[in-house]
Amino acid sequence: MIKFILPAIIIFLVVLFWEKINEFIYKKLRIKINYIAAIIFFLIIVTILVLLYF
């Protein structure tokens, strides 16, 4: 039961505090986290498609 509740709470908190997280990382690294999230999402999709193809 906890393996379903804990990730749901973590995802909820990330969505809730997305702007604060984004500002914090931008101040530290001078890069927008939206670009990082888009690249990671794209890589996951490509990996899934490659695994399905082979």
Question: pLDDT (tens digit, 0 to 9) for every residue of the chain, 54 residues total?
Answer: 777 888 899 989 988 998 898 888 889 888 888 888 888 999 999 999 999 987
- What number of other Cβ atoms are within 10 A of residue 22's Cβ? 14
Number of domains in the chain: 1
Helix-helix angle 33-53:18-29, to 10 degrees = 100
Q: Please measure the distance between the N-terminal and C-terminal CA atoms of the chain and give it in whole angstroms.
A: 34
Using CA atoms, how far residue 45 sits from 39, 41, 51, in Å, is: 10, 6, 10
Sign of the alpha-carbon torsion through 33, 34, 35, 38:
positive
Residue 20's domain comprises 2-53
| Report field, pTM of the whole predicted structure over 0.75 | no
